[in-house]
Amino acid sequence: MDDELQKKLMGMVDQMPPFPKSVHRIMTLSADINCAPKDLVQVIEHDPVITMKLLKLVNSAFFSLARSISSVRHALVYLGLNTVKNLALSIATVESLPRKKTPVFNTKHFLMHSLTTASVAQHVAKTFDIESDATDIFVAGLLHDFGKAVLAQFATDMFAQSVQEAEQNQEPLHIAELRVIGANHAEVGGLLAEKWELPTALVACIREHHMGISSPLGDCVFVANQISKHENFGQSGSPVIESFPGYILERFQMDMEGMLDALGDLSSESEKAHAFIHM
């Protein structure tokens, strides 16, 4: 990437909203094994937007709880720490998405893909005992394609051309982006993650998720990304379901068909994402 392109991309990234402080705080607390649930509740409750949307979702038909939930603390008791944490992270992160509507970028489809990739990545890690922080895995899955949001917002025509060529050539979108724009959404997402001061492992995962670099975090996201496309969980803009490369086959000892069998029914991941998007 030459200096002029780097400067142009940084200009785009600088126009994105700041990453919510509440998300940073939730991630920090989650990384602390001595964190008390009440500390997490306090962080969430200090953000009225997250609290309002979380309670609306928890009281929706999807969860079908026997009683109305009136506080974050009650939600944690009924749904568990991990569910409440992931809901809060998702709500806060989605607030960072650009509001401008573009023909080539369907926000609902994008969110469906991002949310299901996040939850499936966690499912993969749990199923195969992958040693990586569960919050990092969820956030990495949630943010892995956020570079597309930047390009769709601030390089609309070139991004639209990339999507069109990827579809015409039946090639991965990141290949078309490199040809048309000179950089792909993973590189832009890495710049955004750096601006947002995310942990180094998360920055690397977002930047490298199309580079064929193996890591526990990145491998879970790669598999979840392909599964989300295979199962038609939203649309990522890329028409190609990529085969599992050698390092993925070595880590998990199975291909896509075996992985789907191992993970079982994933329809609930789609249902949760759908409920979240339409709350």
| Tokens linked to 146 | 């956020």
Q: Judge contact between 265 and 231, C-beta under 8 A.
A: no
- pLDDT at residue 165 is higher than 80: yes
pLDDT, residue 134, reads 83
Q: Judge contact between 206 and 193, C-beta under 8 A.
A: yes
pLDDT, residue 31, reads 82
- pLDDT at residue 35 is higher than 70: yes
Work out the average pLDDT over 219-229. 97
Choose the weakest-confidence range: 90-99, 122-131, 196-205, 225-234: 90-99
Considering only CA atoms, give the Rg of the chain: 18
pLDDT, residue 164, reads 95
Among 236, 234, 180, which Cα is nearest to 209's? 236
Can you tell me the distance from the alpha carbon of 228 to that of 119, in angstroms, rounded to the nearest whole number?
A: 10
- The neighbouring-strand residues paired with 102 are 105
Residue 210 burial (C-beta neighbours within 10 Å; 0-12, 13-18, 19+): buried
Tens of pLDDT, residues 52-89: 989 998 898 778 888 899 999 999 988 888 889 899 98
Work out the average pLDDT over 136-155. 94
Tens of pLDDT, residues 242-262: 999 999 999 999 999 999 999
- pLDDT at residue 171 is higher than 90: yes
pLDDT, residue 1, reads 67
Residue written as token pair 């880590």: 251
Work out the average pLDDT over 125-147. 92
Q: What is the DSSP letter of 18?
A: P
Tens of pLDDT, residues 84-121: 989 998 988 887 787 667 788 888 899 999 999 999 99
In the chain, domain spans: 3-15+103-277, 20-95
Would you identify the CATH topology of the domain 3-15+103-277? Answer: Hypothetical protein af1432 (1.10.3210)
pLDDT, residue 34, reads 84
What angle do the packed helices 81-94 and 48-58 form, to 10 degrees?
A: 120
Instruction: State the pTM of this model.
Output: 0.91
Residue 239: partners with Cβ closer than 8 Å, 6 or more residues away: 166, 167, 170, 171, 173
DSSP letter for each residue of 115-165: HHHHHHHHHHHHHTT--S-HHHHHHHHHHTTHHHHHHHHHSHHHHHHHHHH
Tens of pLDDT, residues 179-207: 999 999 999 999 999 999 999 999 999 99
* Residue 201 DSSP SS3: helix
Among 5, 44, 24, which Cα is nearest to 195's? 24
